[in-house]
Amino acid sequence: MSGTAGTALVTGASSGIGAATARRLATRGYNLILIARREERLRALAGELSAEHDVTGVAVPLDLERTDELSDALTDVLATASRPLTAAVLAAGHGLGHGPVREADAEPWESQLRLNLLAPMLLVHRLLPELDATGGDLVVIGSLFGTRPQPGYAAYAATKHGLTGFVRSLAEEERPSGGCRITLISPGATNTEFSSVLAGAENPCVHDVSDWPYHPLLAEDVAASVEWVMSRPAHARVTELTVDPIDARY
């Protein structure tokens, strides 16, 4: 029966990896709590998935940078869920303020720190009790920039290095407890609206990559990795997974 997989919470769900993940989880029967800032898109996706897959899709317009409100907002949302929380996929993030450090616009750096690092840390802190209780899955979308130096994206790399360290440490803390399964997925270049914003597009879009020197990942590729991780047998956990274009040039 649909919905028997429990409830999955997905951040960054209005587009890109978050939206693609929500679609895959809906096909597996998860009820969905979809979180993002763009309310119209979010509600459209929740309605689409509810109708097509006979699951409950709840749209929660929420600015994750308002970190002082996250815990109370999540408590309110979880109280209305019809099924226990069995999965959370944290996919929200941005990389504005890129460029060589000497030349970069530093104003968005605090925003990056809040959205890319502090918000997922606080979300994890709030969601762990529910996920531990169900033996659920916590999947955090990091980046290859979280393990390597990346000139021109120093601030973004800093947030992703921090996120990598946080998730790795958390996984070691949780391993003896046998609670939820924790996975860090680190994609390489992915063709989403995120990358078009980094490139300076006035209107977020998915690039035409026909003239690129390599073919980037698609949001669906990363979402398929999330689905695979979550479909492993209960006794198996994938702690880290790297997904990179086979012909990457960067």
Strand 85-90, strand 7-11: pairing:
parallel
- In the chain, which residues have pLDDT < 50? 1-3, 201
Catalytically active residues, by annotation = 156
Q: What pLDDT, on the 0 to 100 scale, is given for residue 1?
A: 34
Among 23, 14, 81, which residue's Cα sits nearest to residue 53?
23
Give the helix ranges, DSSP H, for 80-232.
109-112, 119-134, 154-174, 193-198, 219-230
DSSP, collapsed to helix, strand or coil, labels residue 121 as helix
Q: What pLDDT, on the 0 to 100 scale, is given for residue 205?
A: 56
pTM for the full predicted model: 0.91
**Paired tokens of 125:** 């802190």
Q: What pLDDT, on the 0 to 100 scale, is given for residue 177?
A: 80
